[in-house]
Structure formats: structure tokens, C-alpha cells
Structure 1
Amino acid sequence: MKAPAPVLDGAAEAIKPPPIEIVTLRLLDDTLLEPDVALRLAGLADSLPRPRSVMLQLAQAGDDPAELARIVATDPATAALLLRTVNSAQFSLRSEITSIQHAITYLGANLVRDVAIRHAMTVPAAGRNLTTERIYQGLWRNSYLASGIALALAQRLRLAAPAATSTQALLFMLGDIALVSHYPQIADLYNADLDLAVLVAGTQERLGFNSAMVGAHLAQVWQLPAGLRVALRKSLMPLVSGPDTLDPETAPGLVVSYFSNRLAQALWRQVDFDLVDAMQALRERPEAYYLPQHLAAVGLQDALSALTEPAVERRLASLVKGLSAPR
């Protein structure tokens, strides 16, 4: 294994001017919306069925496997979908799993919770063609990996609720998932693997709002936990500004979620799993310009070291392998 390279060296990056993609991007928010755009945003939320009631319980679930099993067992539809999913080729199990408790023991509480949360949400497939379906599945695959990364980093930071941070990372791209499902005409933006700044600019130009606004609006309508609503509303702030613009209390979870999702996408671009190469590739993209400052501000200068600890790296590599298997 390669020796870990310095993580996004903040001192070196600070002397460089922001990339043009960052300088020219102006994030929209609810205070800047034209009335017709506000109506479209509200209509998007209204068009998506509310998640089953178990969704809120799952979003607030901790690390206790017994608690998680109890929550999933209260919703037969979620339990059935979860068992069907974990027994699919996607997770390459050697023997069939027939109980939620067994699924938790085999796959771990974090991944089981993530799969259950996804299936507690109902995002209609109508209107998704082969391209948008592939993008949609890729966004969820990225979210699963980001959740695993976030859990490891939250544990390194000794955050009070690592499970809540991993759930936040899982749902960080909720707005993107809804946009791709509701507006297949923007699939070309996602299909092009653009830098995040370019993707956000293109989405705002075409629709008049961005993924952060959509995610926050859905979280409000669905009555998800207040902390998650705040994180989704601010999910694009690490892209365009430094740590001084973030609330110190919520910054650790927000930075971990942003970083985990960007690193997860860098890992999925690879042929072979390599955290060091993925980190290097990420640091070369405009979307990572402010990351050194954010990571330093929350005490994660050693993020790569945390992720390349043997047990953590094996767990993430196994997750990538499982998620890459045919479904």
C-alpha cells in the first residue's frame, strides 16, 4: 500500500487564487427566488410521496443494533425490501440472510440503516430512462460509500453521534436524487461528471434553484430532524466559502459530509480502490479549493490517515466491492 500523502495541504492551497468556477458561482437561496421558481420548487416536493413513517425513526437511530432491528421490524415493507436488497448480488453474500438481526450482524448497523433509509423513501421511477436510472443508482451508490467514510471520520473526531453524521452524509445528495428523478432533462449535466461548481451553476441556470435548496425543502416537508434540515440547506457552502461562514457547532458534521461525498465520487471514478490516488485527484478539482481550510478548522488535517488505517481501509474497500457487484 502506498504511504499516505499529506491531506490537501492547506498552507500550499491558501496562496492560490480561487478557480474561476468558484469565483463566478453565486449560490441561490430561498430569499432570491422568483415567485414562479418558488412554485416549481414547492411542486417538486409535492410530487414526491412522503417517506413511510419509519424514515424519521431510522434517521434518528443510533448505533445500537437491537434498536435498529426493532425499528425496521415495525415496518414490514421496509424489512422485506431490506432483506431482498442485502440478499441481492449487490452485496455478494455467501448464504441467504433471513432476519434483520442477521443482516445487521453480517453487514453492520451503518450499512443496514442506510439501505433501510433509502427504501423508506419513495422516489418514483416514472420518467427515468436508462441514462437517468443509471445516474440515480450512481447517486445512491455514492451516498452509501460517503456514509461509510463519514462514520469513520466522525469516530476519529469523537463526535457525540457518529451515526447521525453518517446518516447526514447518506442524505447529503437528497436534492440531487430528487432533481434527477423529477427533471430528466438535466441528466446531461450529471452524466458529464462535471466539477461540482459547474454542475451547480448549470442547474441554477436551467431551473432557478440548486440541489441544496431542494434537499432542504424536502427535509422540511418530510419533517426530518432539524439538524439534518440545516445541513442540507448549507450543504453547498463548503464549495464556495471558507470556515468563517459556518456555525462552529454544526461545522464538523457539515464538513465531514461534504468531504465524504466528494471523496466517494473520486473513489468511484477509479478502476481500482486507492484512497491516496483518490485524494490526490480530488485536490485537483475546483470543488476542493476550500477543503483544506475546512478540514483544518474541524481538526481533520489527518483525514487520509484516519481512512487508511488498515481496519477502516478494508471496510471501505469491501463496501466498494459489494456496491460494484451486479444487482
Structure 2
Amino acid sequence: MSMLFNILVVLIIIVVAVLFLTRKDKRQSKHQYSHMVDEAKINAKKKTTHKPINAEFVDAKPEESISKTKVKSEAPEDFLAFQVKTSDKLTNEQRQVITEITQSFRKPHPLLLPLTQRSFEPNELFELIKKDTEMTAKVLNAVNSPLFALHQPITNINHAIIYLGVGQVKSIAMQFAMQQGMKFTDKNQNEAYQKLWKASYLASSFCALVAQEMGEENPAELSTRCLLSYLGDLAILSYKPSMAGFYLDDFTLFERTKVFQESMGVNAAIVGKYLANQWQLPNVIESGIDHSILPLTNGKVINDLSHNETRHLLLCYLSCRLGDLVSFNGLTDVPDYDEVSYEALGELEFYYTQENIELAGVNKINAVIADQAFKKKLNKIIAKVNADI
């Protein structure tokens, strides 16, 4: 009897232990994701490249800490040696990856192509947008949002164009054209998309303002180009939900690009260029997207571009990086600085900015960015977007 009792006790202990371990495993599995998020955020603050959340495609290895020091000479060696891959030197394997990404991405809204093809007179834009009832409703809803702080509601597209201008309404319409089908059930994927949407909107708004101050002939067209510079990021995020961590956890453009190139062999700019080609967007936009992150590395990479191409590239690049700082890094207002540089902003994305500015002969941009009145305009845009999104 005693032996039977001892056996029963042992069995009960084993059952209890199994149940405990099973529940523990479930709890660990349930909370594993949140632990990974916390760890990713800590590492990102240390500026260390690490694996993305739930990485199933990339195999990123920890890199040396990326310091935000303002001393240019102290930039990490891996950054100084880094080169942005370009679309003219792709292997068959890389082309296959691009094909898989672009083919899995949703088709563009029918209005996206005509919206990008040329500049519009107010009546022409009105006629184009009013053809699509859903687009009309979305544009009106946007212009009446807190973002624009209107005193009286706008009830028709024509009124919106007159009040906000062709460029602003066109930008809003294009935002919604890009958003078509971009709905994610994965929480982190959706949050990452919202950050990309915010960054692209801000970049577009910043570029229109900067280009106007610089006296560019087509601020609206450059604004459109900035907006579409995020196409590749959207496609990669849509293709691989595991990439969401690279947009949520304070990764820099350098860190994202480095990991994407090491894991997939391509970057967001190359993917965006192929999407633009697939959608038959204008050549100037396709090439603009293709070159969009070249200023991240040594200025020599843009030597083959014309003076106009280099100037437009820099205006768009700087606008996009400022949009990134607000959306991804939580910048709430433009700091007080005399130039756009690594020393002034402490971000590696601006390491070669002054070198590129001199190559492009657009030194005027430093004076524009440093102007207090201009900074107030930028901060007004940031405040409105942060309040609305």
C-alpha cells in the first residue's frame, strides 16, 4: 500500500510538473514578442543594428554601436565603407527577389498615373478628381480634418483647390491613391505603414516648401517625387511583415538599407524604381526614386548626374530625411542650426550632406533652412501632422 501511495505521489508530481512547464512555455510564447520589442528598442537607442522583430527572412548580425556624436571623424567604419547598391548592377537572384516583391504588391489606384504625369491647371485637377467618387470623398474629408484647421468647412473639390492650391490637393489625392489596398491585419505591420505614410506626407510637404523658397520651377513635381520615394519601403513592408521592426524601433536609413542589402541583395530605392517602371510612371519619377538614397554615401556616387538632377535629388533627399526624423525619431520641432549636416543634426544620414551640397552648388539651401521664419513654417507643418495623425 505504501509503495502504491509513493507511486501515486510521484505520478502526481510528474503531472503537475508537466502542466506547469506547458503553461510556462505558453506564457513565454505569448510574451516573447513583447520581450523582443523591448529588447529591439533598447538596442536601437544604443544605435546597434540587430535582428528585426519576428525576423523570418533576414539574418542580421549585431554590429558595432553607431554613435550620434557630432564629431564627423568618429563615424563608424562600417558606415564609411558602406555603398548603396544601384539598379544597374543586379544579379539574376536579386532580380528574382524584386520580381517577387513587386508582383505581390497591390495594383495602383487608376488616378495615380495621371496625377504623376504632369502639372495641372485648377480646372483640370478638378475634372480629374471628380471622376472618382471615393477619391472625392477622401480628399474632402482630408482637407476638413484638423490638419488644415479651417474656419469654414470645404464642401467641394473646386473650393478645396482654390483654398489650398493645386499642389496641396494633388498631394492629398496621391496619398490616397498610394493607400489603396494598404490594409494590414498585423498590428506592427500596420503601425509601420502609418509611420511610412506620415514620413512620406511630411517629406512631400517639406519639399514643396523648400523648393518654393529655393525658387525651383516645379515645387509640386518635386513634392510628388518625395511622396513616391517611399514606394519601395511600402512594397517591402507589404511583402514581409517581419520588416516592420525596422520602421518601428528607431532604426536609421543607413541601418535599414544595410540590413536589406545584406539579406535581400537590394534596397528600397531599387524596389521602388522597378515598381514605378511596372506602373508606367513618368521616367523622371522612376529615375528620381532610383537615385533617392544615393546621398547617403560618398558624394562621388552622384557625379554622373547632371547639375539639375543633383540639385533635385538633394532637395528630395533632405526633405525625406527630415520627414523620417519626425515620423521615426519623434522630432517635434526643427532644431536651431546654421546648416544641414552631421555635426548639426548628429544623424549619419547627413554625414555627406555638405559635401553633396557643394558638389551640386546649392549652398543657398543652408541659408533657407537656417532662416527662423522658414523653421516656423516647418514646425507648423510638423505640429499639424502630429496633432492629426
> Percent identity of the aligned residues?
28
Structure 2 letter corresponding to 1:262: R
Q: CA deviation at 1:90?
A: 4.7
Unaligned runs of 5+ in 1: 1-12
Change (3 A) 1:94 1:206: farther
CA contact (8 A) 2:129 2:136 kept: yes
Structure 2 distance, partners of 1:121, 1:195, is 24
Please, which moves more after superposition, 157-166 or 306-315? 306-315
Asked if residue 184 in structure 1 is aligned to residue 241 in structure 2, the reply is yes
Structure 1 distance, partners of 2:152, 2:247, is 36
Asked if residue 250 in structure 1 is aligned to residue 309 in structure 2, the reply is yes
Structure 2 distance, partners of 1:323, 1:230, is 29
**Correspondences of 1:204-223 after superposition (within 5 Å):** 204-223=261-280
Q: CA deviation at 1:300?
A: 3.1
Structure 2 equivalent of residue 110 of structure 1: 167
SS of alignment partner, residue 317 of structure 2: helix
Structure 2 distance, partners of 1:104, 1:219, is 27
Q: CA deviation at 1:159?
A: 2.6
Unaligned runs of 5+ in 2: 1-69
Asked if residue 162 in structure 1 is aligned to residue 219 in structure 2, the reply is yes
Please, which moves more after superposition, 272-281 or 220-229? 272-281
Q: What RMSD, in angstroms, separates the aligned Cα atoms of the two structures? A: 2.9
Q: CA deviation at 1:206?
A: 2.5
CA contact (8 A) 2:200 2:320 kept: yes
Query: Of residues 336, 348, 352 in structure 2, which corresponds to 1:290?
Result: 352
Q: CA deviation at 1:70?
A: 2.7
Structure 1 letter corresponding to 2:195: G
Q: CA deviation at 1:173?
A: 1.6
Structure 2 equivalent of residue 52 of structure 1: 109
Structure 2 equivalent of residue 260 of structure 1: 319
Structure 1 distance, partners of 2:88, 2:364, is 37
Q: 1:40-93 CA deviation, whole Å, 9 max, x = no partner?
A: 311222222332332122113436433322322233332222122333445444
Q: CA deviation at 1:283?
A: 3.4
CA contact (8 A) 2:332 2:383 kept: no
Structure 2 letter corresponding to 1:129: D
Q: CA deviation at 1:34?
A: 4.2
Structure 2 distance, partners of 1:202, 1:100, is 43
Q: 1:238-271 CA deviation, whole Å, 9 max, x = no partner?
A: 1112152433231111111001111222344356
Structure 1 distance, partners of 2:91, 2:358, is 38
Structure 1 distance, partners of 2:249, 2:354, is 26
Structure 1 letter corresponding to 2:303: D
Change (3 A) 1:184 1:292: same
Structure 1 distance, partners of 2:125, 2:376, is 24
Structure 2 equivalent of residue 77 of structure 1: 134
Please, which moves more after superposition, 225-234 or 139-148? 139-148
Structure 2 equivalent of residue 6 of structure 1: none
Q: CA deviation at 1:280?
A: 6.8
The higher-RCO structure (CA 8 Å, 6+ apart) is: 1
Structure 2 equivalent of residue 3 of structure 1: none
Structure 1 distance, partners of 2:148, 2:81, is 42
